[in-house]
Amino acid sequence: MLKMHNLSKIYRTDEVETIALNNVNIEINSGEFVAIMGPSGCGKSTLLNIIGMLDNPSEGDYLFFDENVARYSEAKLANIRKRHIGFIFQSFNLIDELTVAENIELALLYHDIAASERRDRVAAVMDKVGIAHRAKHMPSQLSGGQQQRVAVARAVVGNQSMILADEPTGNLDSAHGQEVMEMLQGLNEEGTTIVMVTHSPAHADYARRTINLFDGQVVTENLRAA
Amino acid sequence: MLANYLRSAIRNIAKERLYSAINIGGLAVGLMAAFLILLFVRFELSYDKEWANADRLYRMDTSFLTGPEPKARLRRLSGQLQAAMLSTFPEEIEAAARLRALEPTIRDGDKVTDELVQWADADLLKIFQFRVLKGDMKAAFGDKSSLAVSRTFAENHFGDADPLGRVLNLKVYNLDRDYRIVAVYEDLPRNSELDIPAVALMDEEAFAEPHWLLRNWGSTSVEQYVLLKSGASWSTIQAGMPGLLDKFVETRSGKGSSFLAMNGMKFSDYHAHFVTLDEMSVMAKMQILIAIAVVLVLVGAINFVNLATAQAIRRTREVALRKVLGAGRPQLIVQFLTESILITLIAAMLAVVLLEFSLPAFAEFLDAPLELSYDDGVFWASLIATVLVVGGLAGFYPAFAISGSRPGRILMANKSAESRGTIILRQVLVTFQFAVSVILIVSTIIIYGQTWFVTNMDPGYDRNNLLVVQGVDRGDMKDKRATLRDKVRKLSMVRAASMSSETPSDGNNSGGNFGPTPVRDEQINMGEIWIDDAFFDTYRIEMAAGRNFSGTNEADEFQDNTDENPVENRVMLNAFAAEQMGFASPDAAIGALVYNGTRPLRIVGVAKNARLQDINDPQRAEVYYFTRDRGYNLTVRFGGSPTEVVEAVRSVWMELAPFTPFVFTFVDDAVAEEFEEEVQMSRILTFFSGLAVLIASMGLYGLAAVSAERRTKEIGIRKVLGARVRDIVMMMVWQFSRPVIVANLIAWPVAFFTMSSWLEQYPNRIDSWLMLPACMAAGLAAFLIAWATVAGRAYLVARAKPINALRYE
C-alpha cells in the first residue's frame, strides 16, 4: 500500500537544523495493523504526519499505491488524503461548536455526497461505535472515551482504507483505552489498514508489527507471532 | 498600581500590533472626522453672535401671499418698510438701517470694474461695529459722495498706497457720481451674513427710479436691520405688522396684509435658521453632520469593543493569574478601563495630528476658515470628554466580561471561554457598522443621482451652447443694446440671439397678477418676461398653438399703460399659464382676452412649457411681452467653440461700450451652479461615508484575523478531513456575510424613508423606486468590501499546512 525509500525530514529554523527523520525505509501493506513506538522526540508523530500526507518529506520518496507523492502540493495531497486516510488524534480534535453527528458528518462534507446519504452513513457509524444516543450532544458534554469514539467514527465514516492514530489512548484511562483499542482491532479485522503511534507496549500488542524509532531512524521491526 | 496597569497596557498594545493598529487607526480616523465636524459646526453656528446688541438685533424678511405657490420667505424686502416701521413703532425701535446692494461700474482712471457696493442708512453704525483702520467712518455717512471701504477692497484697488482721499467714479442706474474714500475698515468676519466690501450713504433721490430699487412694496430691494430699544418686545412689532401693511401699502384692491407679510428674526439666529421655503436650514445640516460625527466615532469605538472581546480568550490567562495572585474584580476592571482609555488617548492624539495635516485641505473643501487653536478651551474640553466617554464605553464591556471569569475554569480547561452573549454582541455591533455604512452609501448615491437628474433633465429648451451676456442695460451699453444684438447676430458662429428680461437660473423672477377677468380675486400670480421675436428660436422652444411675435408687426409690441389709461397689449403665454387661466387647450386660448389687473391682454400664441426659472422651482405659469430692445440680458445660441464665441462677442461689446465691463455666463453652467450646495453636500457625504466604510472594514479585518486565529484548530481539522482552501475561505466569508445581510435588511428601509423625505423638497425629483437599485448597489458594495477583507485573511490561514494548526495544543 505504501512504501518509503530513504525518506528524511529536516526542520530548519534560522539557527538550528533538526533532523526529525533520517533515511527511513518502511513498507506497509494493505490490511496491516502497525504500531510505531519510541521515546518522546524520536520522530514518531513526524512519520505519522508524512504517512498521512499532512506534511511533506524533505528528502526521499514516498510511494502511495505506487504513486510517488513526496513532492505533491498541499491541494493534491488533500485530495488523496480525503479519499484514503482517516485520522485519530490523542486530543480527539473535535470541533467544539458542532454536535457529535455534525463532527462525524464533517468527514463526508467535503466529498460530494448527498445529504440524505450522509445522514444514513453517520447514523450507521454512530451505531457501530455505540454513541448514537449522544448524537445531538456537544463534544464538551462527553467523556474522553466517548469523544475518542466520535473521532474513530469520524475517521471511518468515509470508508477510508487506512486509519492513522496518533496516541489514540494517550488521554484516556485504561478502561476507555482498551475500549478504543478493541474498536481499532475490529476495524482492522474488517480490512482497514491501521498505523498507530503509541507509548503503551500493551496497546502496541494489538498490532501485527511494531516499528521502533530512535532519533529519527528505524532501529527494529518486530512481528508479533500470529 | 497604576504604573503596573500602564506598563501592562503598553506592553499589550505593543505585543498585539495588528489589533492595536486597527483600534487606534480606526478610532483616530473617526475622531479626526468628528473633530473636523465639530470645528465646522462651531464655525457655522457662530454667525453674527458677536455684535454688541445681538440680543436686540433683528433682520426682517418678507413673503408674498399671492398665487398658488407656497409662501416663500425672501431675504430682501421693500425699501419702504423702514420708514413705515419707524413711524409706527417709535417706542420700540432704537435704530434701523437698510442695505441696498448694487453692482456699480467703478472707474478709477482707466481701470473699470463691476463690484458689489452697499448703500446704507446712517444708523448702520449704531447697529454694527466696524473696526476702523483709517479715517472716519461717520464721515462716510455725512454726505452722499463719501465712501468707506474694507481693507480688501482698498488693497485690490490701491495696493499699498493710502486710499484715503482717493476718488472713484460709481455708475449705476441713474446714479453717476465721484465718491471720495474717507474711511477704511477691517474686513467683516467670515462668520457674518453681512457682505459689505464698500459702503456709501443711501441716496433716495438717485435711486428713485427704477421704481423697484427702493420704492416698490412688491420688490425685494434691501436687507432690513432693526435694533430694538432695551426692554422693548419684538412681539409688539410682530403683532402690529399686518396693521402697518394695511395702512402703508397701496393696493388696487384688498388690504396690504393680504398679499404681503413681514417677519423678523434675531440676526444671531439668521444664518442657522433662515430658510426661504422648505429647504434644509444650516442648523438641520449641522445636525446631520453631528449625527455623522457621532456615528463615525461609534464605528471606530465598535472596532475596539469587538477586538477586545474577541481577544479576551488570550487575556483570560493573564486575568486568571492576576486573580490567583489576589486581584479583585474592581482592580481588573480599572486595569482594563485604563488600557482602553490609554488607547483612546493615543488615538485622540493621532487624530489631532491627522487633523493638523489635513485641515487646510478640509477648510478649502468645506469653504470655511477652519483652524485648530490650542488655547481653545472648548476644543480641549470636548477632546478630553470624548476620550473619557469613548474609552469608557469601549472598555466597559470587555472589562466586565473578562474580569468576571472564574480563574480555575480558565487555567484548567482548554475550552473556548467565549460566552454566547459576547459573540452575539459582536455580531450586533458589526451589523450596526455595516448598516451605517450602507445607509451612508445609499444617501450619497441618491444625492448624486438627484443632482445628475435635475441637471440633465429636459428643461423644455436646448440648454447647450447658450451664452448669456448679462446686464446689457448697464452703463454705456444701455442705449446700444439693440445694436449689440444685431452685430452679434452677424458673427459667423452665432445661430441666433435674443434679448430678454430673464434668463434661466439668473435668480430674477418678475411677476404680476393675471386672470381671465379683471376681478382681482380671480387673478393669480404669474411670471412676466419681456422678450424679442427671436427668443423662442434662440432657446428652441416650440409653439403649442398660435404664432410667435412678429418683428415686423408693430401691433405686437408692448405699450406702456396704466390702470387709469389701459391699452390692449398682445401677449404670449406658456401652456401652463393657459391651463391656469382656465383654457381647455392651448388652441382655445388663441385670440382670447385676459387681464393683468384691469389691463386687457390679447393672446396671440402659446409656447410649450419650458423651465426658464431656477431648475429647483416648480414649473411656472408665464406671460410673455414683446419688446424690441428692453431686455436686460442677451442670449446667444452658438455653434463651435465656446471660448471663440466669448472672445468674438466680447470684442463687439468693447467696441460699443469700452467702459462697461463685459459679464457673461453659459446657461448650462448657471444651471449647474444652482446645485452647488447639493454637490457640496454629496461630496461631504461621500467623504464621510468613505471613512465609515474604511473604519468598519478595518474592524472586520481585525475580527476575521481573531476569528481565524481562534479557529486555527478547527480549520486544521477540516483540512485534515479534506477541506480545500476554497472551502475554508467560503466558510469564513459566509460567517462574516451574515451580519452584512442583516445590516442591509436594516439599512434599506431606513435609507429609503430618509431619502424619500429628502427628495420631497425637490419638485423635479427622481422616482422613489430608483432607491432600490441604489440600495442594492450599496449592499453589493458592502458585501464586496466584507468579502475582500475577510477572504484575504482567510486565505492566508487556509493555505497553511494543517499540521501546523494541529501540532501544538
**Domain ranges in chain B?**
1-54+277-418, 66-258, 431-457+675-809, 471-662
Q: Taking CB atoms and an 8 Å cutoff, what residues of chain B touch A52?
A: 720
Q: What distances in angstroms separate CA B540 from CA B462, B468, B546, B608, one per listed residue?
A: 6, 15, 16, 10
Sheet of strand A2-12: strand arrangement: A17-28, A2-12, A59-64, A67-68
Q: Which of A49, A78, A91 sits opposite B809 (nearest CB)?
A: A91
What's the first-to-final CA gap in chain B, in angstroms? 34
Closest chain B residue to A89, measured at CA: B806
Give me the residue from B722, B806, B807 closest to A110, CB to CB. Answer: B722
> What is the per-residue pLDDT across B251-268, written as a single tens digit (0 to 9) for each?
766 678 877 889 999 999
Under a CB-based contact definition with an 8 Å cutoff, are residues B782 and B742 in contact?
no
Q: Give me the residues paired with residue A37 across strands.
A: A212
Do the chains contact at B416 and A78, CB–CB below 8 Å? no
Closest residue in B to A93 (Cα–Cα): B717
**Residue B413 confidence class, pLDDT cut points 50, 70, 90:** very low
Binary contact (A93, B801; C-beta < 8 A): no
DSSP B585: S
Taking 50 as the threshold, does the pLDDT of residue B414 lie above it?
A: no
Is there a contact between A111 and B722 if contact means CB atoms under 8 Å apart?
yes
Q: Is the per-residue pLDDT at B417 higher than 60?
A: no
**Which residue in the set A45, A81, A93 is minimally distant from B717, CB to CB?**
A93
- Taking the CA of residue B740 and the nearest CA in chain A, the distance in Å comes to 22
The residue behind cell 474584580 is: B329
Name the residue in chain B with its Cα closest to that of A48.
B803
**In terms of DSSP H, where are the helices of B367-419?**
377-403, 407-412
Asked if B701 and B786 touch (Cβ cutoff 8 Å), the reply is: no
Model confidence pLDDT, tens digit, residues B336-376 = 888 888 888 999 999 999 999 989 988 888 888 888 888 88
CB contact under 8 A, B720 and A81: yes
pLDDT confidence tier of residue B330, bands split at 50, 70 and 90 = confident
Quick check: B9 and B326 in contact, CB under 8 A? no
Check CB contact under 8 Å for A78 and B724: yes
Shortest CA distance from B807: residue in chain A: A45
Nearest CA in chain A to B726: A75
Residue B409 pLDDT exceeds 70: no
User: Backbone phi, then psi, for B172, in 5-degree steps?
Assistant: -155, 130
The answer to whether A213 and A220 are in contact (CB under 8 A) is: no
Q: Which residues of B touch A82 (CB under 8 A)?
A: 721-722
Q: What is the pLDDT of residue B579?
A: 92
| Average pLDDT value for residue range B193-214 | 91
Whether the per-residue pLDDT at B808 is higher than 50: the answer is no
pLDDT tens-digit readout, B641-686? 888 999 999 999 989 988 777 888 898 888 777 777 777 777 888 8
Confidence of residue B719 (pLDDT cuts 50, 70, 90): confident
- Per CB-CB distance under 8 Å, the chain A contacts of B728 are none
User: For residue B349, with 0-12 CB atoms within 10 Å meaning exposed, 13-18 middle and 19 or more buried, which class applies?
Assistant: middle
State residue B1's pLDDT score.
66
Whole-number Å distance between alpha carbons of B748 and B750: 5
B582: left (phi over 0), alpha (psi -120 to 50) or beta: left
CB B542 within 8 A of CB B607: yes
Considering only CB atoms, which chain B residues are within 8 Å of A138?
none
Find cell 538550528 and name the residue. A16
**3-state class of B581 per DSSP?**
coil
Whether B529 shows a pLDDT value over 70: the answer reads yes
- Of B331, B470, B337, B445, nearest to B399 by C-alpha is B337
Nearest CA in chain B to A55: B803
Residue A172's nearest CA partner among A180, A183, A184 is: A180
Chain A residues within an 8 Å CB radius of B723:
78, 109-110
With an 8 Å Cβ cutoff, are B719 and A111 in contact? no
Q: Which amino acid is at B558?
A: F
Cβ neighbours of residue A76 closer than 8 Å, sequence gap 6 or more = A69
Question: Where is pLDDT greater, at B327 or B599?
Answer: B599
Q: SS3 of B218, please?
A: coil
CA distances from A44 to A21, A219, B169 (A): 9, 12, 104
Q: Do the Cβ atoms of B727 and A96 come within 8 Å?
A: no
Chain B residues touching A79 at Cβ < 8 A: 722
DSSP lists the bridge partners of residue B596 as B514, B599
Distance CA B605, CA B574 (A): 8
**Which residue on chain B is closest to A105 by alpha carbon?**
B721
B72-89 tens-digit pLDDT: 788 889 999 999 999 999
CA of B417 vs chain A CAs: smallest distance (Å): 11
Tell if the CB–CB gap between A110 and B727 is shorter than 8 Å: yes
Give the three-state DSSP class for B254: coil
Between CA B118 and CA B197 the distance in angstroms is 8
CA atoms within 13 A on the CB side of B650: 11
User: Which residue does chain A place closest to B713, by CA atoms?
Assistant: A93
Cβ-based interface (< 8 Å): residues of B facing A: 415-416, 713-714, 716-725, 727, 799, 801-803, 806-807, 809
Q: Which residues of B touch A95 (CB under 8 A)?
A: 714, 717-718
By CA distance, what is B800's nearest residue in A? A74
Q: Which of B315-324, B428-437, B464-473 has the lowest mean pLDDT?
A: B315-324
CB spacing of B801 vs A54 below 8 angstroms: yes
Distance CA B322, CA B311 (A): 17
On chain A, the residues whose CB falls within 8 A of the CB of B717 are: 93-95, 106
Cell (9 digits) for B193: 451674513
* B276 close to B72: Cβ distance less than 8 angstroms: yes
Helix, strand or coil for residue A35?
Answer: strand
**Residue B2 neighbours by CB under 8 Å, 6+ apart:** B338
Find the angle CA(B567)-CA(B571)-CA(B574) to the nearest 5 degrees.
150
| Angle between helices B377-403 and B282-324 in degrees, nearest 10 | 40
pLDDT at B408 over 60: no
8-state DSSP, B354: H
Identity of the highest mean pLDDT range in B399-408, B420-429, B507-516, B547-556 = B547-556
* pLDDT higher than threshold 90 for residue B199: yes
Average pLDDT (B374-387) is 85
Mean pLDDT across A83-112: 85
CA pseudo-torsion sign A22, A23, A29, A30: positive
CA distance B149 to B134: 10
Residues 6+ away with beta carbon under 8 Å from B410: B316, B317, B319, B320, B417
Which chain A residues are closer than 8 Å to B720 by Cβ? 52, 54, 81, 87, 93
Q: Which of residues 71-90 of A touch B (CB under 8 A)?
A: 74-75, 78-79, 81-83, 87, 89
- Determine the pLDDT at residue B418: 61
Chain A residue numbers with beta carbons less than 8 Å from the beta carbon of B713 are: 93
User: Which residues in chain B are contacts of A87 at CB distance < 8 A?
Assistant: 720-721
Which amino acid does the sequence have at B623?
V
Alpha carbons B218 and B506: distance in angstroms, whole number: 19
Query: How many percent of chain A have pLDDT more than 90?
Result: 31
> Grid coordinates representing B91?
417706542
In the three-class reduction of DSSP (H, G, I as helix; E, B as strand; rest coil), residue B646 is classed as helix
Which residue among A45, A74, A83 sits closest to B801, beta carbon to beta carbon?
Answer: A74
What's B609's DSSP letter? P
Which residue in A18, A54, A142 has the most chain B C-beta atoms within 10 A of its own C-beta, making it the best mutation to test that interface?
A54
Q: For residue B675, give the 3-state DSSP assignment.
A: coil
pLDDT score at B693: 82
Residue B706, C-alpha cell as written in the block? 481573531
Residue with cell 412649457: B609
A147 touches chain B (CB under 8 A): no
* CATH architecture of the domain with residue range A29-55+74-223: 3-Layer(aba) Sandwich (3.40)
**Nearest CA distance, B711 vs chain A (angstrom):** 9
d(CA B289, CA B295): 10
- Cβ contact, residue pair A110, B809, below 8 Å: no
A91: contact with B, CB 8 A cutoff: yes
Partners of B721 on chain A (C-beta within 8 Å) are: 82, 87, 106-107, 109-110, 154
Reported residue count of chain B is: 809
The rounded mean pLDDT for chain B is: 86
CA distances to A56, A144, B283 from B50, rounded to whole Å, are: 78, 78, 18
Contact B482, B560 (CB under 8 A): no
Q: Which residue of A has its CA nearest to B802?
A: A54
Supply the Cα-derived Rg of chain A in whole angstroms. 17
Alpha-carbon distance A15 to nearest alpha carbon in chain B (angstroms): 20
CB pairs A-B closer than 8 Å: 56
**Spatial contact of B521 and B565, defined as CB atoms under 8 Å apart:** no
What is the Cα B207 distance to its own chain's centre?
34
